Amino acid sequence: MSSCSSNKEQSTSESTSPSTLDLLVGTYTGDGSDGIYQLQFDPTTGELSDRVLLATSSNPSFLAVGDSSKYIFSVSEDEEGSISSWKRNEQGKLDLINSVSTYGKHPCFIDANSGLVAVANYSSGNGGIYTIGTNGQLSKGFSEFQHYGSSANAERQGEPHAHFSQFSKDGRFLYVIDLGIDQVLAYPVNNNRLGGAATALVAEAGDGPRHLEFHPTKDLVFIVTELNSMIMSASVDKETGKFSLIDRKSTLPEGFTDASYCADIHVSPDGKFVYVSNRGDQSIAIFKIQEDGNLELLGTENVRGDWPRNFTISPDGAFLLVANQNSDNITVFKRDAETGLLEYTGNEFKMSHPVCLKF
């Protein structure tokens, strides 16, 4: 009787244990990397394993997963930029559906939402949206934007640099961040076309805004600036698409004086904390989100690597994974749901130039 009970409990435990999750990795290629990879992530232990090359592609530095996860989209961050649509085959690899030009140089961000894909070209300061056909095929791009202007940092802001393009949660606006002109622009989306842009937010001169992320439940947005290592919180007017600044704080520890450049930003699934990667300080900055949208810096956690370009939070919020571009490793941290703080698990995975992580 005792033995049967034990076996039953063990069987039940095994059957309900979470399986590993697919983690997609975008890379810079040509130095030990060949394209888009997949790793297996254990949501219980935080371990990474089983690297597989899903598709050969040139510099797939940013990836997007389609609404139904049926299709995967990638940029090729090259002088003549392009984006590609992929579909899983029976062997689990990615088959290319088609690739289309981005009509610009060095596309660095891609987003998919409700049958549309948006892209931003860094070097040429332009981008556009594409429709996704029923077979996953991308259109050739029929609604585009081009930015003009400059800002205070002569070396980095002598011309526009579109660094981010993402649809609002309701799909009514496409938000484009331009590092070169210190602006966040809101393009209304109607009938799969972009309308005239409204200025959603103007950063301080020389800030170099880079990425943003929306709060999961509140009308709040958080913007990170690359050149001045700042984070901003703002309220969102869902009717006009405009932002109203609430708070602005440094992402660096007190007393840090060396060069550092923010890269990525993510909000915890519970909406209580926001995280930012610091390239130079080699850290993740941890902020508590107050009820009124103000931010409290709780501290920074060393990433155990060099140049944390991109990171992601596991779907259950329990882990934070960092892609360290220059040290060729992905490091894994346990996230405390109550305090928001991070603890290094000791788990890392070595691979060449990881720069984008997507579950």
Average pLDDT over residues 7-22: 55
Q: Tell me: pLDDT of 16 over 50.
A: no
| 18 — pLDDT class (breaks 50, 70, 90) | low
Look up the pTM and report it.
0.93
Q: Tell me: pLDDT of 116 over 50.
A: yes
Task: Print the SS3 string covering 167-204.
Answer: ECCCCCEEEEEECCCCEEEEEEEECCEECCCEEEEECC
Average pLDDT over residues 188-203: 96
User: What are the structural domain ranges in the chain?
Assistant: 251-359
> Which amino acid appears at position 278 of this protein?
N
> Which amino acid appears at position 347 of this protein?
N
Of 137, 54, 145, 148, the closest CA to residue 98 belongs to 137
Of 27, 110, 74, 40, the closest CA to residue 332 belongs to 40
Give the CA radius of gyration of the chain: 20
| 10 — pLDDT class (breaks 50, 70, 90) | very low
Lookup: tokens for 232 = 């901003």
Asked whether the beta carbons of 213 and 222 are under 8 A apart, the reply is yes
Residues 182, 186, 192: CA angle, nearest 5 degrees: 140
Q: Tell me: pLDDT of 68 over 50.
A: yes
C-alpha distance from residue 52 to each of 25, 49, 93, 345 (Å): 10, 9, 8, 23
Average pLDDT over residues 177-200: 97
Kindly state the percentage of the chain with pLDDT values over 90: 92
Q: What is the pLDDT of residues 254-289, one digit of tens each?
A: 999 999 999 999 999 999 999 999 999 999 999 999
Q: Does domain 251-359 have CATH number 3.20.20.70?
A: no
Q: Which ranges in the chain belong to alpha helices (H)?
A: 2-16
